[in-house]
């Protein structure tokens, strides 16, 4: 009964956070500031050691909606670490590449023997947001060796046009 109540409370918390995210304001800060704020909040709530590393330059600003998706993916990945990883340290790396940016969340927790084939709510939300960003997601984990989640997001969404010119 205690486990069922605990699981129900976690589900209610997930639903509230999801609803808040839908109605929340678009982030005005850049990704580095947003990630730093999320990590600060995470550190206070979990007392885990955290580190943010940024490489490259933010030369192509993403719109607020895309930034929100990226920040929510990072938040959800950190929530998964807090709930399941039994980690001591968490690192977040933001890499600005020439055509895409990457956000990598790494923990030193218990890891998994395989990536779950049945997604929980958190991983399902991460995958859906990744799809909306036209991005890719890689999860690297081994039992006893922690987990690394890498999100790659292209700067430009490719839009193909099928408009043909007409002559009279």
Is residue 92 packed enough to be buried (19+ CB in 10 Å), middle (13-18) or exposed (0-12)?
A: buried
pLDDT at position 35: 95
pLDDT at position 112: 83
Taking each continuous run of H as one helix and of E as one strand, the counts in the chain are 4, 5
pLDDT at position 166: 39
For the chain, residues with pLDDT lower than 50 are 23, 158-168
pLDDT at position 17: 64
How many residues appear in the chain? 168
pLDDT at position 4: 85
pLDDT at position 162: 41
Residues in contact with 58: Cβ distance below 8 Å, sequence separation at least 6, in sequence order: 30, 31, 32, 96
């Amino acid at each position: 009964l205690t486990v069922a109540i605990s699981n129900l409370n976690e589900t209610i918390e997930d639903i509230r956070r999801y609803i808040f995210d839908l109605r929340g304001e678009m982030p005005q800060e850049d990704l580095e500031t947003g990630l730093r704020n999320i990590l600060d909040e995470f550190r206070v709530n979990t007392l885990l050691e955290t580190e943010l590393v940024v490489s490259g330059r933010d030369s192509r600003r993403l719109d607020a909606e895309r930034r929100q998706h990226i920040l929510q993916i990072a938040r959800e990945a950190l929530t998964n670490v807090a709930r399941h990883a039994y980690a001591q340290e968490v690192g977040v790396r933001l890499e600005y590449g020439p055509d895409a940016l990457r956000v990598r969340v790494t923990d030193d927790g218990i890891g998994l023997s395989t990536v779950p084939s049945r997604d929980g709510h958190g991983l399902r939300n991460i995958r859906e947001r990744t799809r909306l960003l036209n991005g890719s997601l890689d999860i690297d984990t081994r039992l006893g060796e922690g987990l690394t989640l890498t999100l790659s997001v292209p700067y430009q969404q490719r839009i193909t046009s099928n408009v043909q010119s007409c002559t009279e």
